[in-house]
Amino acid sequence: MKNNILIFNTKFFFILSFLSFWGLGGCQSSKKEKAVKFLQKGYESLLKKEYNEAIQLLSKGIENDTTLLELYNNRGIAQMSIEKYADAQKDYDKALKLQPQNPDVYFNLSNLYFVTKKYPKALEALNQTAQTYKDSAKVYFRRALVQLKLQDFENAIKDLDIAILKKSEWAEAYESKGYLLFRIGNYKEARQNIEKSLKINPKADLSWVNLAKINYAEGNKKNAFENVQKAISINPTEIYALNQLAYFYILEGETQKANDILKKSNEYEAKNVGFLLNKTLLHILSKNTQNAKVFLQQVLEKDNTAEFAQYYHGEITLQENDQKGACSIWVKTNDILCKNALEKHCKPKN
């Protein structure tokens, strides 16, 4: 299942290619040859997602040769894949000591910083990678995700434009750009990009969800419900689609239908962010501020950059009669909902 930030859940890793040691025969190179064999076996285990096996093989390679950057880089990937983040950090650091400017290691390091929510460092690492891989669409795509987390929608969209320029038939890039344009309230261009995504891949369930979001924002509720149902028909267990349908039902005042859908969402992934956000909204609408705060706190602990999180935070703060506090929350993001809230509640009266 995908997370609730559309297509940006994709993880990219650079697994470095093997070095060839032809012509190094003799006793002097025996350890290096053994290290390369372990590197190849570890690489094969990585491709099979046998991460513990990969770690053991790559570690044996390091025992034979501590100078092969690929051994540390690939072991770092394996460590990350089983959430041994501190060990992955050590491996990437060792790799960079061997070759301080290596762009592949920096790319993988950016993934580490991303999953550990160190977004500024993730951006720095990707900037380093981009200096070498100027023609890599996936580097710009990945950097757009980091920009999103940093609430820098403008630069995220610019990076997606570059990714699309370099890979014109990339449905996920159009989908992601459409989502970001939706977040800032540019519904026309958002719809155009989502439609391009669907033209390339009509089975893109997340694109149907994002098109539904645009439909609803534009007042076309009929198409909104139809399109989110299309997404669910493509992938019945996609929590992003289920949570979006529940959200529509909440806005339409059909609380029981919303709760039925949320029950399914929670069964597929317990306390997922979209589920928690919808529960927050239900309590905001019923003026149950304390319960809303409980659910929102869980959201913020999981992902404080999630769509609606800061908007709901401001709404709860406003319900507690702290208008100044609410305005200080909404002003920090470029989300259209927060901008509208600022206009409604925070604009100085003449």
What is the domain partition of the chain in residue ranges?
29-116, 129-168, 185-263, 271-350
Cα–chain center distance at 140: 14
Of 33 and 13, the one with more pLDDT: 33
DSSP summary character for residue 19: P
pLDDT at 350: 54
Q: What mean pLDDT do residues 109-125 have?
A: 95
Lowest mean pLDDT among 52-56, 132-136, 193-197: 132-136
Q: Which residues contact 98 (CB under 8 A, 6 or more apart)?
A: 67, 69, 72
pLDDT band for position 22 (cuts 50, 70, 90): very low
Its sign, for the CA torsion 273, 281, 244, 137, is: negative
Asked whether the beta carbons of 69 and 91 are under 8 A apart, the reply is no
- Say how far apart CA 221 and CA 268 lie, in whole Å: 26
pLDDT at 330: 96
Query: Cβ-count burial of 75 within 10 angstroms (0-12 exposed, 13-18 middle, 19+ buried)?
Result: buried
pLDDT band for position 349 (cuts 50, 70, 90): low
Structure tokens at 114: 């991303």
- Say how far apart CA 149 and CA 159 lie, in whole Å: 14
Q: What mean pLDDT do residues 289-309 have?
A: 95
pLDDT at 27: 42
pTM higher than 0.75 for the full model? yes
Share of the chain above pLDDT 70, in %: 91
The 10s digit of each residue's pLDDT in 322-341 is 999 999 999 999 899 999 99
Q: What mean pLDDT do residues 140-166 have?
A: 95
DSSP summary character for residue 133: -
Structurally, at CATH architecture level, domain 185-263 sits in Alpha Horseshoe (1.25)
295 pLDDT above the threshold of 50:
yes
Lowest mean pLDDT among 5-9, 57-61, 67-71: 5-9
pLDDT band for position 347 (cuts 50, 70, 90): confident
19 pLDDT above the threshold of 80:
no
pLDDT band for position 14 (cuts 50, 70, 90): low
Helix, strand counts (H, E) of the chain: 19, 0
pLDDT at 6: 35
- 29-116 and 185-263 share one CATH topology? yes
Cα–chain center distance at 179: 12
**Nearest alpha carbon to residue 250 among 260, 264, 238, 237:** 260
Share of the chain above pLDDT 90, in %: 87
Structure tokens at 218: 């534009």
From its phi and psi, is residue 306 left (phi > 0), alpha (psi between -120 and 50) or beta?
beta
pLDDT at 334: 87
Q: What share of the chain is helix, strand, coil (3-state, %, to 5)?
A: 75, 0, 25
348 pLDDT above the threshold of 80:
no
pLDDT at 17: 39
Please give the class, per CATH, of domain 29-116. mainly alpha
Residues 148, 160, 218, CA angle at the centre, nearest 5°? 70
CA atoms within 13 A on the CB side of 11: 16
Q: What mean pLDDT do residues 211-231 have?
A: 98
- Please provide the average confidence, as pLDDT, over all residues in the chain: 91
